[in-house]
Amino acid sequence: MTETTRLEAFSDGVLAVAITLLVLDLHDPGVHLPHGLARALLDQWPAYATYAVSFLTIGVIWVNHHDVFDRIAAVDRRLKFINLLLLMVVVVIPFSTALLSHHFRDGSNGHAAAVFYGLVAMAMGLAFTSMWVYLGRHPELLADGHDAAYARGRSVRTAVFGPAVYAVATVIGLVSAAASLILYAAVPMYFAFARSADAGPTNR
Amino acid sequence: MTETTRLEAFSDGVLAVAITLLVLDLHDPGVHLPHGLARALLDQWPAYATYAVSFLTIGVIWVNHHDVFDRIAAVDRRLKFINLLLLMVVVVIPFSTALLSHHFRDGSNGHAAAVFYGLVAMAMGLAFTSMWVYLGRHPELLADGHDAAYARGRSVRTAVFGPAVYAVATVIGLVSAAASLILYAAVPMYFAFARSADAGPTNR
Amino acid sequence: MTETTRLEAFSDGVLAVAITLLVLDLHDPGVHLPHGLARALLDQWPAYATYAVSFLTIGVIWVNHHDVFDRIAAVDRRLKFINLLLLMVVVVIPFSTALLSHHFRDGSNGHAAAVFYGLVAMAMGLAFTSMWVYLGRHPELLADGHDAAYARGRSVRTAVFGPAVYAVATVIGLVSAAASLILYAAVPMYFAFARSADAGPTNR
Amino acid sequence: MTETTRLEAFSDGVLAVAITLLVLDLHDPGVHLPHGLARALLDQWPAYATYAVSFLTIGVIWVNHHDVFDRIAAVDRRLKFINLLLLMVVVVIPFSTALLSHHFRDGSNGHAAAVFYGLVAMAMGLAFTSMWVYLGRHPELLADGHDAAYARGRSVRTAVFGPAVYAVATVIGLVSAAASLILYAAVPMYFAFARSADAGPTNR
């Protein structure tokens, strides 16, 4: 295996574990249930909503991660480190999801949880942006057909669609956890639907 | 790696983690055991039964997932999204298993847990069915030797053997958790035994 | 990838997750520690001993699993099912380890935990044995150079070194958890040291 | 796949799961928060610091593990066993991280946790050193272009930059958890930054 393939395989492994650990944020409501289990399960709908949003978010991170590495021919030690920082942030998502899930309807604590969720998502977007900025300065790492200008273009677009949108959602979280959650959900939906119109079948 | 191989490897990773997380649904009965540990371990037999059923269920999902992707030559963004929805549902199985395991003998709460388990299994079957429906509309993604008619046939059979059987088991769960669990167990056993009679050795 | 490679990759994934989940059996002693954290950490030495024994055991299962599949050229649906049963038992090991770790010094409960640990290990050995018995009856699945007689010989040796030794250790567990743990530890040590004398470097 | 590739793939899987399980050391502060969730989240900064240090540490272990196996052409049973011992120690890191995170500001218990963290890190470094010592005695396992003298040189350098530095940090942990944590953080930062100056892009 090449260094690039290995880095991708390790990153895929981490993403697969992180996305699956999200299920640990779903809790058995327990045995003392005055209104019964069915009602208790319905009552914890924020846990399902945050689970779905985070699952789709990490899913889209996986898609985007491959999209970056499809355009890379070689990796150096610093790019490995930036990739490690990206993974370090993504692995926090099951924790920020648990916080948002538990405190969602808890007034100002819900806002705090929504802001924390947004800060983690912003850090994730910044790590992706850093990767493109670094590639713009080290175009020798890019695959054939891609140059520094391409990487710089990608770094701008990544900054706008990632950290910038998440920054807005984070600020909205200061006043409404629900409104920010809708915006957090919108990002992966945009990637899944809006961008699929122009994307034909690929088997690169 | 091709996009299809990557999607399979990521899905395999998620399925391997999800099937292994099922062990977290088995709990130490604790230290205050009036009748001793041996008796306490025997008493939690529903946990072993649900563990085994869910393990076999995810195992069969893994077999079926490969069966689908063996017939796919290329993936597009929407198929990736349907696959992500399938995984999102499968990853919930350790949670629905924990619920059924804990509440199995708890009267109406046991019924609620059995229904929840069935709804998750139904959603999983529907995700598989959606995949075949989508492939029926996009036969250009299919491997050589498979056409839209084949995919439509598979979507009907998948709907009958998956969501339809699980719908029946879910309704039965309303009156008996035990009866529905037997039906949940029957699905993977059918795939393992009934269908193995006609399946010779394969090394595609 | 061939069906055989896929089955191995999935099994490797499950084994890698199961071996790593063993760390969840190590617990922070908490904050109310009359004799301090250092003493509390030393006091839970059975947790480290069972962790090490189970880690080596799953490690040897991984080595043996590859050893079996190196001799297989094709898989059929029933062999997949036997493999799934093997994994189902191995994934229970972090649970039987937790039980043994928590109840080790708890008199008759410690014996019960040691017996449970042994029964799981026996079931694992029986699954390996079943695999060889099945291959003895379906030699068409074996790789070139291996025949039914070879598989039958392996099934006998596997039964003796696996389930038989674990059966003895299980019976010993009825009277002493410590003595059975030493025997559980001896199995992977035998595979690692005694059998390494005659094994030259391999890169098949 | 060759034996070497398989061992690497399994090790990568274990490392990917272990690095992701670190998120389980981050806990929801709960619902009874006199000063609110935001303050409670800020108060548990040692958890974030230890998470980051351990994440980078396991990340560097992954890089170094590949570096070793890039220089190996074949594996024998004993090298597999040494590798298993290395993984056994690395998988403990989420536990030693949890201890350090929970007891960091708890006086002498914090020192005990820092020492425990250091002992685990030292054992990890010793496992890497053992691997090179063993390769120095079995140069037939090394890839072309590497001989016994090379392996002996690596074993000395590994001992100095790994166990020796961690031994110093462990002793410092006896008097200050914070000072030892800074040193634990310095090791992966050194590998990421100091050593990246001379490392060009690689795609071996």
Which residue shows structure tokens 């150096």? Answer: A76
Q: Which amino acid is at D95?
A: F
How far apart are alpha carbons B135 and B131 in whole angstroms? Answer: 6
pLDDT computed for residue B197 by the predictor: 44
Under an 8 A CB cutoff, do D3 and C204 touch? Answer: yes
Interface test with D, best of A27, A90, A109, A174 (most D CBs within 10 A): A109
Lowest mean pLDDT among A193-202, C70-79, D37-46, D108-117: A193-202
SS3 content of chain C, % helix, strand, coil (to 5): 80, 0, 20
At D143-179, the pLDDT tens digits run: 999 999 999 999 999 898 889 999 999 999 999 999 9
How far apart are alpha carbons B49 and B55 in whole angstroms? Answer: 10
At A23-81, the pLDDT tens digits run: 999 999 988 888 899 999 999 999 999 999 999 999 999 999 998 999 999 999 889 99
Under an 8 A CB cutoff, do C16 and D21 touch? Answer: no
- C-alpha torsion C1→C7→C11→C14, nearest 10: 80
**Touching chains, A (3+ CB pairs < 8 A):** B, D
pLDDT tens by residue, chain C, 204 residues:
678 888 999 999 999 999 999 999 999 998 888 889 999 999 999 999 999 999 999 999 999 999 899 999 999 988 999 999 999 999 999 999 999 999 999 889 999 999 999 999 999 999 999 999 999 999 999 999 999 999 999 999 989 888 999 999 999 999 999 999 999 999 888 877 765 544 445 443
Interchain CB contact of A20 with D (< 8 Å): no
Name the minimum distance, in Å, from the CA of D198 to any CA of chain C. Answer: 32
Query: Which residues are paired to B75 by β-bridges?
Result: A202
C145 conformational bin, left if phi > 0, alpha if psi -120 to 50, beta if neither: left
Nearest CA in chain A to B100: A28
Interface test with C, best of B7, B20, B25, B196 (most C CBs within 10 A): B20
Nearest CB neighbour to C203, from listed D3, D84, D116: D3
Predicted TM-score (pTM) of this structure: 0.94
Q: String of b and e for B48-75 (b: at least 16 CB within 10 Å)? A: bbbbbbbbbbbbbbbbbbbebbebbebb
User: Using a CB-CB distance cutoff of 8 angstroms, which residues of chain D are in contact with residue C91?
Assistant: none
CB pairs under 8 A between C and D: 108
End-to-end CA distance of chain B: 18
How far apart are alpha carbons B131 and B24 in whole angstroms? Answer: 30
Interchain CB contact of A201 with B (< 8 Å): yes
pLDDT computed for residue C31 by the predictor: 80
Backbone phi, then psi, for B75, in 5-degree steps? -120, 145
How far apart are alpha carbons C171 and C111 in whole angstroms? Answer: 10
CB pairs under 8 A between B and C: 108
Residue A3 has pLDDT above 90, yes or no: no
Which residue shows structure tokens 């929805």? Answer: B85
Residue B191 has pLDDT above 80, yes or no: no
Task: Tell me the average pLDDT of chain A.
Answer: 91
At D35-78, the pLDDT tens digits run: 899 999 999 999 999 999 999 999 999 999 998 999 999 999 88
Task: Tell me the average pLDDT of chain D.
Answer: 91
pLDDT computed for residue D1 by the predictor: 63
Residue A126 CB-half CA count within 13 A? 11
Interchain CB contact of B42 with C (< 8 Å): no
Under an 8 A CB cutoff, do C91 and B55 touch? Answer: yes
Window 88-107 of D, Cβ < 8 Å to C: 88, 91-92, 94-95, 98-99, 102-103, 106
Residue B45 has pLDDT above 50, yes or no: yes
CA dist list (Å): B142 to B146, C104, D159: 6, 56, 54
Tokens coding A60: 């889209």
Q: Which amino acid is at B103?
A: H
The total number of residues written for chain C in this structure: 204
At B53-75, the pLDDT tens digits run: 999 999 999 999 998 999 999 99
Interchain CB contact of C144 with D (< 8 Å): no
User: Using a CB-CB distance cutoff of 8 angstroms, which residues of chain D are in contact with residue C9?
Assistant: 9
How far apart are alpha carbons A114 and A178 in whole angstroms? Answer: 8
How far apart are alpha carbons B109 and A37 in whole angstroms? Answer: 5
Tokens coding C149: 């007689």
CA dist list (Å): A119 to A125, A126, C80: 10, 10, 45
Interchain CB contact of D150 with A (< 8 Å): no
Segment holding D94, helix H or strand E: helix D93-103
Backbone phi, then psi, for C75, in 5-degree steps? -120, 145
CA dist list (Å): B123 to A159, A177, B86, B89: 36, 28, 8, 7
Query: Which residues are paired to D142 by β-bridges?
Result: D72
C-alpha torsion sign, points A192, A197, A202, A204: negative
Q: A189 and A126 in contact (C-beta within 8 Å)?
A: no
Q: What contacts B1, CB < 8 A, 6 or more positions away?
A: A5, B9
Interface test with C, best of B23, B51, B53, B70 (most C CBs within 10 A): B23
At B135-177, the pLDDT tens digits run: 999 999 999 999 999 999 999 998 988 899 999 999 999 999 9
3-state SS class at B3: helix
3-state SS class at B76: coil
Interface test with B, best of A37, A62, A65 (most B CBs within 10 A): A37
Backbone phi, then psi, for A35, in 5-degree steps? -105, 10
Nearest CB neighbour to B203, from listed C2, C106, C109: C2
- C-alpha torsion C186→C189→C190→C196, nearest 10: -170
Which residue shows structure tokens 């389930």? Answer: C163
Q: Angle at CA A157, nearest 5°, toward A153 and A159?
A: 115
How far apart are alpha carbons A26 and B96 in whole angstroms? Answer: 9
pLDDT computed for residue C160 by the predictor: 87
How far apart are alpha carbons A183 and B173 in whole angstroms? Answer: 37
DSSP state of D87: H
3-state SS class at D202: strand
B133-142: long-range contacts (C-beta < 8 A, 24 or more apart)?
Answer: B134/B78, B134/B79, B134/B82, B135/B71, B135/B72, B135/B79, B138/A201, B138/B76, B138/B79, B140/A201, B140/B74, B141/A201, B141/B72, B141/B73, B141/B74, B141/B75, B141/B76, B141/B79, B142/B71, B142/B72, B142/B73
Q: B57 and B111 in contact (C-beta within 8 Å)?
A: no
Nearest CA in chain B to A16: B14
Backbone phi, then psi, for C18, in 5-degree steps? -60, -45
Residue A167, classified by CB atoms within 10 Å of its CB into exposed (0-12), middle (13-18) or buried (19+), is middle
